[in-house]
Amino acid sequence: MWWDRSNREAGPGRRFPGSRIVLAVLVIAFLSFMVWQGRRMRWESGPRTVTVYCFSAMEDAMTDGVLPAFQEFWKGKTGQHVEFITAFAGSGTITDQIIRRFPAEIAVLSSEIDAYRLVRRGVLPGPVWTTLPERGVFARTPMVIRVRPGNPKGIAGFDDLARPDVGLLLADPTTSGAGEWTALALYGSAFLEEGDRARGLDRLVRVWGRGAEGGSSARVARSRFSEGSADALITYEAEILGRAGSGGANGEIVMPRSTIVAEPVVVKIGRNVSPEQKDLIDSLVSYFWSDEAQQILVAYGFRSVDKERNVPDAGFRPIDRLFTLEEIGGPERAEEEVLGEALRLDAASTAAD
């Protein structure tokens, strides 16, 4: 439960005279003015800073692509230099950190599921990201299967991952957005075939029950796969097409006939944004939908929200049935029914060990 100052009591007989309250307000106002003045002076003589927390699979695209490009854009627009304080981890991990009051001004989360957690925990007043273009979605990437070069196990789709001769890595859904999207891909690809939720849960149980724990994020799972663990890994398409994922040693893509498309969202953490930062924060968030940023994201393996950019020359292959989170019930239902089942399976597996 969040700390509520209204629950604190002054204690028997304690009083707060009006003159003291006025004095306290004046002192706070003066100190706030001095902090603002100091920050403004630093801007005039040095760089401005933005704190960005981002899910791990987008680390390369952000640190080597989008953020440096925005630095140039902002310098040309204002003459100011901007620097970034960044943190990259599984989407669930950075969501937990923000709930614990880590100072992110902008959060790039793997899905609306984590964004709604921030609403439920009082970090955000509501689904503020939905007022942005594309409801806060600025890139897309389908969930696909990574296999060894040449696909020696002959894996053709999700059902093959339940075979006893196939070793499978799964990212942890409690900390990783990739883990969440993996569970949703398994469930939704079967559910949408006949509109039967029982069939979706059956595929989830059969495949998830065989997977080995792949780590706290998509990036950790990718590293373990590259080191030789398992025969297959369900992950973001961008993790394979991106610059860090390229190369024969990292395996190749098996495109399921039906799979979910992950839709990362950008969220402004308003309680951490001071009034004097608002122009910079708003400009960076808007920049994510710019032509330049969209071109950079494609270069790093993410599909653009502008479908005309998602061409085969960029490495994007067609998928027979590409579905969204909304098509399988939306964030709340998916979290309760599908991710809840995945967590139950994880708990049962841990108990068995």
pLDDT per position as a tens digit, 144-158: 999 999 999 999 999
Q: How far is CA 157 from the centre of its chain?
A: 25
Please give the pLDDT value at position 5.
22
How would residue 128 be classed by pLDDT, with cut points 50, 70 and 90?
very high
196 and 334 assigned to the same domain: yes
Residue 23 lies in a domain: no
276 and 333 assigned to the same domain: no
Residue 39 exposure: Cα atoms within 13 Å on the Cβ side: 12
What is the Cα–Cα distance from 258 to 91, expressed in whole angstroms?
24
214 and 228 assigned to the same domain: yes
Range of the domain at 338: 141-262+320-352
52 and 92 assigned to the same domain: yes
How would residue 245 be classed by pLDDT, with cut points 50, 70 and 90?
low
What is the Cα–Cα distance from 281 to 37, expressed in whole angstroms?
19
CATH label of the domain that carries residue 327: 3.40.190.10
Query: What is the domain count for the chain?
Result: 2
Q: Taking the CA atoms of 34, 39, 44 and 46 in sequence, report the sign of the dihedral they define.
A: positive
How would residue 143 be classed by pLDDT, with cut points 50, 70 and 90?
very high
247 and 272 assigned to the same domain: no
With 70 as the cut, is the pLDDT of residue 248 above it? no
Residue 310 lies in a domain: no
Find all residues with CB under 8 Å of 249, minimum gap 6, and list them. Answer: 149, 226
Find all residues with CB under 8 Å of 199, minimum gap 6, and list them. Answer: 190, 191, 193
What is the Cα–Cα distance from 293 to 302, expressed in whole angstroms?
11
How would residue 211 be classed by pLDDT, with cut points 50, 70 and 90?
confident
Residue 293 lies in a domain: yes
Residue 308 lies in a domain: no
Please give the pLDDT value at position 348.
65
Please give the pLDDT value at position 209.
86
With 90 as the cut, is the pLDDT of residue 342 above it? no
Question: Are residues 320 and 305 in contact, defined by beta-carbon separation less than 8 angstroms?
Answer: no
Higher pLDDT, 7 or 193: 193
- When mean pLDDT is compared across 1-10, 164-173, 304-313, the lowest value belongs to 1-10
223 and 237 assigned to the same domain: yes
Residue 72 lies in a domain: yes
193 and 237 assigned to the same domain: yes
With 90 as the cut, is the pLDDT of residue 350 above it? no
Residue 292 lies in a domain: yes
pLDDT over 90, % of the chain: 73
Torsion of CA 61, 63, 68, 69, to 10 degrees: 10
Please give the pLDDT value at position 250.
61
What are the CA-CA distances from residue 61 to residues 98, 122, 135, 285, 298 (Å)?
22, 30, 21, 15, 9
DSSP 302: P
335 and 224 assigned to the same domain: yes
- When mean pLDDT is compared across 19-33, 197-211, 290-304, the lowest value belongs to 19-33
Please give the pLDDT value at position 344.
80
Return mean pLDDT, the chain: 86
How would residue 346 be classed by pLDDT, with cut points 50, 70 and 90?
low
186 and 330 assigned to the same domain: yes
284 and 233 assigned to the same domain: no
H-type helices in 216-339, by residue range?
Answer: 218-226, 237-241, 278-287, 291-299, 330-333
22: number of Cβ within 10 Å: 10
Residue 256 lies in a domain: yes
250 and 286 assigned to the same domain: no
Q: How far is CA 71 from the centre of its chain?
A: 22
**Interval 237-248 mean pLDDT:** 72
State the first-to-last Cα distance of the chain, in angstroms, to the nearest integer: 34
148 and 180 assigned to the same domain: yes
Radius of gyration of the chain (CA): 23
Residue 30 lies in a domain: no
Residue 125 exposure: Cα atoms within 13 Å on the Cβ side: 4
